[in-house]
Amino acid sequence: MAQRIIFGTDKAKWSMKTDWIPKEHGAWGMIGGSFLSVVAVHGRVTPAMVAFLAGFLFLYFTRVPFLNIARNKTSSRTYRIIVGFGFVGWVLIILAARFSHYPLFPLWVLGMVPFFLVELIFVRRRKPNHFIPQLVGTIGLSGIAALTDALWHGAMTVHALWLWLLNSIFFVAGITIVRQQIAARAPSPQGNGYLTLLRVGIVGYAALGVLWAVLPGQSLPVSWIVLLPVMAEVAVFSLNRLVVHQLKTLGWLQIAQTVIFVLFLALFTK
């Protein structure tokens, strides 16, 4: 008897088993980069930090099923994934709170939900590639830095908010470069993406200045140094109107920038 293939082909059957894994490489880079930025600052990893990262990843695996609900594409499997991964994720986050003796920590994790709701709203409106959900989502994922740092200190501190801002500026600059490059390769480019890039650089450093004025105790020169490589990249792309013909090359460039960002934090925040 011929083997029965449920989804048409073996390849399709396999893909159906892993369709809950988010495919956006940039988002994975933000998760890893935000976490490693805290490790770079403090020089080591604690059990609470590991438990939080694992818990967050389990919660992140529910993202695609939730987006499918927003698209009205659901099945019993969709809800099983949400319940199963969600339960494990929250158990690990509660363990992280216990390890760090910070019982309020899960409430701070819940504070990330509104960032995800923005993406759900735009997916519901069939505008998943709009800049606003990508911007808000980037800021939300950068919050991993603040949450991880809060576990280190056992409280949400000014230092944690500073790391959140640094990561937000860094990764927003990165996604803006990628979006501009994709737009520049389009047959009929719209708008001035290079001017947008330049604005990102200016606003980024202005945000650091505001933070320094409002939240004293953080080193503005160190912040500028840490962000200098990515802001230099923004300036080069915007002022010289560069176009990278291979998006894979652009991806490797952003990975290199993330490595430099983490190394600079390790070198200049000790």
pLDDT, tens digit (0-9, with 9 covering 90-100), for 24-50: 888 899 999 999 999 999 999 999 999
186, part of any domain: yes
Residue 208 has pLDDT above 70, yes or no: no
Tell me how far apart the alpha carbons of residues 39 and 37 are, in angstroms, rounded to a whole number. 5
219: amino acid identity, one letter = S
pTM for the model: 0.83
The pLDDT value recorded for residue 22 is 82
Residue 225 has pLDDT above 70, yes or no: yes
Most confident of 3-7, 70-74, 141-145: 141-145
Tell me how far apart the alpha carbons of residues 184 and 190 are, in angstroms, rounded to a whole number. 8
How far lies 143's CA from each of 9, 78, 155, 259, in Å? Answer: 40, 27, 14, 18
Answer whether 269's CB lies under 8 Å from 41's CB. yes
156, part of any domain: yes
Number of domain units in the chain: 1
Answer whether 264's CB lies under 8 Å from 226's CB. yes
CA 106 to chain centre: 19
Question: Which tops the pLDDT comparison, 211 or 39?
Answer: 39
1, part of any domain: no
Q: Among 181, 208, 186, which Cα is nearest to 197's?
A: 181
Tell me how far apart the alpha carbons of residues 238 and 191 are, in angstroms, rounded to a whole number. 13
Spell 5-20 as b/e; 16+ CB within 10 A means b.
Answer: eeeeeeeeeeeeeeeb
Question: Which tops the pLDDT comparison, 143 or 77?
Answer: 143
189, part of any domain: yes
9, part of any domain: no
Tell me how far apart the alpha carbons of residues 16 and 24 are, in angstroms, rounded to a whole number. 17
The pLDDT value recorded for residue 182 is 73
The pLDDT value recorded for residue 261 is 94
Answer whether 172's CB lies under 8 Å from 204's CB. yes
Q: Which H/E stretch holds residue 234?
A: helix 220-240
Tell me how far apart the alpha carbons of residues 267 and 270 are, in angstroms, rounded to a whole number. 6
239, part of any domain: yes
144, part of any domain: yes
3, part of any domain: no
Residues with Cβ within 8 Å of residue 2, at least 6 apart in sequence = none
Q: Which domain holds residue 215?
A: 23-268
Q: Token pair of 205, please?
A: 């450093």
Among the residue ranges 104-108, 158-162, 235-239, the one predicted with the least confidence is 235-239
**Could you read off the pLDDT of 129-149 as tens digits, one per residue?**
888 888 899 999 999 999 999
Q: How confident is residue 270, by pLDDT bands cut at 50, 70 and 90?
A: low
